Structure 1
Amino acid sequence: MPPSSARSVPEPLYSAEAVRRIDRHIIDQRGGDGFGLMQSAAHAAFRRMVKRWPSVSPVLVLCGAGNNGGDGYLLASQAQRHGLEVRCLAVAPVERLTGDARSAWQQAEADGVPVQAVEALDDAGLASLLDGASLIVDAMLGTGVSGPPRSPFAEVIARANACPAPILAVDVPSGLDASTGAAAGEVVRAALTVTFIGRKAGLYTGVGPAVCGDIAFDDLGADADALAAGGVPVARLRRWNDVRALLPRRPANAHKGQFGRLLIVAGDRGFGGAGLMAAEAAGRSGAGLVTLATRPEHVGAALARCPSVMVRGVIHGSEIEDLLSGADTVVCGPGMGTGAWGQQMLQQVLGSEVPRVLDADALNLLASRVAVASERQVLTPHPGEAARLLGCQVADIERDRIGAAQRLQRTYGGVVLLKGAGTVIAAGTETVDIVGGGNPGMATGGMGDVLAGVIGALCGQLSGLAPAVVAAACAHLAAADRASGHVGYMGLLPTDVIGHLPLVFRDAEQAAAADKV
């Protein structure tokens, strides 16, 4: 049966500060009742908790000093009233609690929730308390904390992560920067994160996807006016379902010239597979004509593997001039090397007016030059390549992936796709795109070559580089997720992803047909 034609829309992603502004606006709208909003958050988290873990008991709630801790105390109150065995560990002294957080603690005390102070426990006592829980609720640090967690939070986080019990994080896993997705020290590794008001960008990129587990969202009644108080979102969460409508419908009298003439320049000696995977992925992504320019010794293997690709063996850069003149888009870099052969190829590509996708070794070579900016280029660095392009360390990239992608785009122009968990795409606007999906099986050589081919193919079919890059990234991750469902993570190969690309695009075609009906 064709899939449902229902499509999602891009979800706005906010910084922690923007969400605090939205939170403040909602409280003002409700007459300054922050405690009521805290109760709503606790109820939403409790509802998700019992849906995921029905009748779980005993529950241990780890509470900090701020509003996040208040959410935890109120969740514990609800659990107590519903007959669950629950207790709280006050990781911050209750004497420090003020305002709504103190009211929440008083509510928990009134409902008979046992509250244990962490400073009253030795190591053995803390270990016994945590190990005895069937579920741990993290309500320690929330969005208002930056930098590495300090004692005793760091020790409690590390000990909780070592427990067999799953962890539910309230709003954001403690230790995770809700704006950037970085973690400067210990960070809670949750099975489920229930987040409120506005989706935080840091949950979807960097360390976020590895520590949030499943993400459940409740807006707690935030309306359009409240969201406007947060300002422009820092990002949009993009998934295949919301971008597949970008693909053009193919008319019944379609011909290959309508879907792009793609040239792929790739594959120095010993690296012929990189260019071939890019070429095959491009063919599987609807490119009308695909030409591969590679070392002569790779021609036979390329034709045997993928006879639909036109292959040219080239030794000198001047040999691709005619190929460039006949191309709509060029992908340059996979397996190209940084020696004389690769340098000649890149020089020809940079000197051409053809829109280009620069990947892998093309980026390494570009990093050694004066920055070549162009609005007709797409850069696809992983964090190491991004660091070389910006002249910094990988840690600087991972500390703020959104900011790094934006700096790259300002320096080099065009569109920048920063690879890694929570792919970031910057195209010169205030709001970037973060792509949802993907899995650990993609951590193997060749996945980027496949992505480069998909991007090149869609650049020849869509109007504008930015929509093509977003659609390609979403399709690539969707195909990888489908492939991992068949072969798992450990054995996932780039060629498995290529094999599932047609199924992903088929879904888009069927959804478009259903909409037309």
Structure 2
Amino acid sequence: MPKIDLKFTKSVITKRPENSYKGNFGRILVIGGNANFGGAIIMSASAAVYAGAGLVTTATEPSNFTALHSRLPESMVVDYSDETYLKELIPTMNVLVIGPGLGTSAKSLQILNFVLGQVSAEQSLIIDGSAITLIAEHHLPFPTAPKLIFTPHQMEWQRLSQIAIADQTDDQNQAVLAQWRQHNPNITLVLKAHRTKVYLPDNSVWENTAGNPGMATGGSGDTLTGILAACVGQFQPADKAVLAGVYIHSDIADELTDDGNYVTLPQEIIPLLPKFMGRLASD
């Protein structure tokens, strides 16, 4: 099984060209954050900005606007219920994230259904958290056009795949993915666990070599979605960008643990992203 390690990640994260502008580094739309879980979408959007995304827009519950403007002035904001505006906005994006803090209410389901109906073949859609639960509970069909990247933890994967946690072997996981890829061949699974594994559309399975128990805290997955979105928006091919994003998230957490941290807070990972990625690109 191939490993995601520092050497591999350095091969993906490249220096920025001298003649660059923000449009070169991905237009990201992050969707989620109901009135109760606004922190999740703030962490996801923040991670995308700090990991180098060129433009980040956050579609969220309006009650989160003030916090977003205060915490992340680099991100634009939009009401995630404004379908008229989103219908114009979504086609301008390279990467979409849906799920962090979205919730599982009827309103959340409506937002998810709308977004699933808008994405196109040229885009990547990262599906996380509540969105995974809603798809599983309501048996929603997957979009057939875009590149889909699912980022479940093991319980969310159980809901989505119907594979019990104890039975989530590579063979079982690949069998489910093979069925889904008959309808959309561009499905990637990032299965978060003690050693996160990434199942790519070419049927390869990669294992992350970084990460530690201190990452088992709220917001860790939300932060990962933002990093993945930024990497997919900046680096090609997208499959390698996903692998690199998984490693970056975990290796920064390992550095914090090596400094003596008992738990690795997402808010500690996020501000370290620019320098960490700068080191990768300069080596």
AA of the residue aligned to 2:199: A
Q: CA deviation at 1:496?
A: 0.8
Contact kept, 8 Å, 1:236 with 1:434, in 2: the verdict is: yes
In structure 2, do the counterparts of structure 1 residues 373 and 309 end up closer, same or farther at CA, with 3 Å as the change threshold?
Answer: closer
Map of 1:383 onto structure 2: 154
Q: Does 1:360 pair with 2:129?
A: yes
Unpaired stretches in structure 1, ≥5 consecutive residues:
1-234, 512-517
Amino acid at match of 2:223: V
Distance 2:214 2:82 in 1: 37
Match of 1:489 in 2: 262
CA distance in 1, matches of 2:175, 2:57: 33
Superposition TM-score, scaled by structure 2 size: 0.91
Q: In the alignment, is the contact (CA less than 8 A) between 1:280 and 1:453 conserved in 2?
A: yes
Per the TM alignment, residue 355 of structure 1 is displaced from its structure 2 partner at its CA by: 1.8
In the alignment, does 2:188 pair up with 1:415?
A: yes
Question: Contact (CA 8 Å) 1:378, 1:465: kept in 2 or not?
Answer: no
How do 1:93-492 residues align onto structure 2 when only pairs under 5 Å count?
235-351=1-117, 352-353=119-120, 354-367=123-136, 368-372=138-142, 374=144, 376-397=147-168, 400=169, 402-413=170-181, 414-490=187-263, 492=264
CA separation of 1:460 and 1:364: change in aligned 2, threshold 3 A:
same
Does residue 503 of structure 1 match 2:275?
Answer: yes
CA distance in structure 2 between the partners assigned to 1:261 and 1:474 by the alignment: 22
How many percent of aligned residue pairs carry the same amino acid? 33
The 1:411/1:271 distance shift into structure 2, 3 A limit, reads farther
Greater displacement, 289-298 / 412-421? 412-421
Decide which moves more: 388-397 or 375-384.
388-397
- What is the alpha-carbon distance in structure 1 between the residues aligned to residue 256 and residue 124 of structure 2? 30
Q: 1:457 & 1:502 partners in 2: Cα distance?
A: 12
Paired AA for residue 495 in structure 1: Q
Distance in 1, Cα, partners of 2:46 & 2:172? 31
Displacement of 1:262: 0.2
Q: Which amino acid aligns with 1:364?
A: T
Report the Cα distance in structure 2 between the residues aligned to 1:456 and 1:404, rounded to whole angstroms: 27
Return the TM-score normalized by structure 1.
0.51
8 Å contact kept, 2:31–2:97: yes
Contact persistence 1:383–1:420 (CA under 8 A): yes
Runs of 4+ in 1 over 6 A off after TM superposition: none
Task: Tell me how far apart the structure 2 counterparts of residues 263 and 473 of structure 1 sit (CA, whole Å).
Answer: 19
- Tell me the secondary structure at the aligned position of residue 43 of structure 2: helix
Answer 1 or 2: higher relative contact order, Cα 8 Å, separation at least 6.
Answer: 2
For the structure 1 residues 461 and 443, does the alpha-carbon distance in structure 2 shift closer, same or farther, using more than 3 Å as the test? Answer: same
1:307-354 Cα shifts (integer Å, max 9, x gaps) = 111111333444421221211110010000111222122112211213
User: Is the partner of 1:471 in helix, strand or coil?
Assistant: helix
Q: Distance in 2 between matches of 1:469 and 1:263?
A: 17
Aligned residue pair count: 273
Contact 1:246 1:471 in 2 (8 A): yes
> How far is the alpha carbon of 1:421 from its aligned partner?
1.0
List alignment gaps of at least 5 residues for structure 2. 182-186
SS of the residue aligned with 1:460? helix
Change in CA separation of 1:487 and 1:269 when aligned onto 2, cut-off 3 Å:
farther
User: Once the two structures are superposed, what CA deviation does each residue of 1:294-317 show, in whole Å capped at 9, x if it has no partner?
Assistant: 000000001100111111133344
How far is the alpha carbon of 1:385 from its aligned partner? 0.8
Give SS of 2:100's match: coil
Provide the alpha-carbon RMSD of the alignment.
1.7
Alignment partners' CA distance in 2, 1:315 and 1:348: 10
